[in-house]
Amino acid sequence: MRIRYVAKTDVGMKRNHNEDYFTFDLEEHLFLVADGMGGHSSGEVASKMAAEAIVQFFKYSKGDQEATWPYKMDPSMSYQENRFVVSVKLANYKIFQAQATDLKYKGMGTTVVAFKVLGDTLLVVHVGDSRAYRLREGKLSQVTVDHSLLEEYRQAKKDVTEEELRNFPHKNVITRALGMRETVAVDIQKEPIQPGDCFLLCSDGLSGMVPDKQMEEIMMAEPVLENMVNALVNKANENGGNDNVSVVILKFEP
């Protein structure tokens, strides 16, 4: 299958600087979005640091299964899954060390969500509330599960209403991010790819401002990827633009 891709980041309507960061490593078929936090300058440092650390580890470990890794491999996962998870753990450690040793970076951190394409399979890793979605045959589905108090509340109360979720007082509090602790648990999953699938990575500047159904309608109405990503970012800003918004879209064609 052929991969087409497009990305965009925007400061939004309420912020004066952008703490989001996205990057690609086309040689590794790696695509990533990070949403930094920690105030002016340090949030954008954390998101860029995470992306660079992940890409650098992939370059370091490429084709050399004897290279020394900073973390042990998990025997229940493949080599490529281990590479992905270890790269994120290493990024977490670097951010934790930076904010622990330099006062100007104290409290900084970042979410991360990323894809790695392996043939007809997509590896998805994430930490935090930046999300991955799949659009297949006209239906948009959320692939990742947020690491947030809101998601914990949703899962604990099975009959929760949309109004209760909207009024939940701690909906912006995340329970996991890179840099919060010396070690981090990284979620990884495998998604089968079908021809025609669109996969989306985004910061919560999109998912927090544009309901899933509205995202689905926009993606179905805009078959040109450049128009699709522009329409999604514009809708987030039209709906208030309370945060930076970053979107990466991959489309798989025969």
Q: Looking at the 3D structure of the chain, how many domains does it have?
A: 1
Low-confidence ranges of the chain (pLDDT < 50): none
Distances (CA, A) of 36 to 19, 127, 132, 153, 178: 5, 12, 17, 24, 9
Length of the chain: 254
Q: Identify the pLDDT of residue 153.
A: 82
Which range marks the domain in which residue 138 is found? 2-253
Amino acid in the structure at residue 104: K
Q: What are phi and psi of 167, to 5 degrees?
A: -95, 0
CATH number at residue 25: 3.60.40.10
Q: What are phi and psi of 174, to 5 degrees?
A: -95, 150
3-state secondary structure 35-62: EEECCCCHHHHHHHHHHHHHHHHHHHHC
pLDDT, tens only, 143-164: 999 999 988 888 888 788 877 7
Of 82, 112, 56, 145, the residue nearest 248 (C-alpha): 112
Q: H or E segment at 116?
A: strand 109-118
CA-CA distance, 32 to 143, in Å (whole number)?
Answer: 15
pLDDT, tens only, 90-131: 999 999 999 989 989 999 999 999 999 999 999 999 999 999
Q: Identify the pLDDT of residue 161.
A: 80
79-101 and 42-61 helices, crossing angle to 10° = 140
CB neighbours of 25 closer than 8 A, spacing ≥ 6? 55, 58, 59
Q: Identify the pLDDT of residue 40.
A: 62
What tokens does 164 get? Answer: 């209760």
Q: Identify the pLDDT of residue 64.
A: 73
Question: What single DSSP character describes residue 212?
Answer: H
pTM here is 0.95
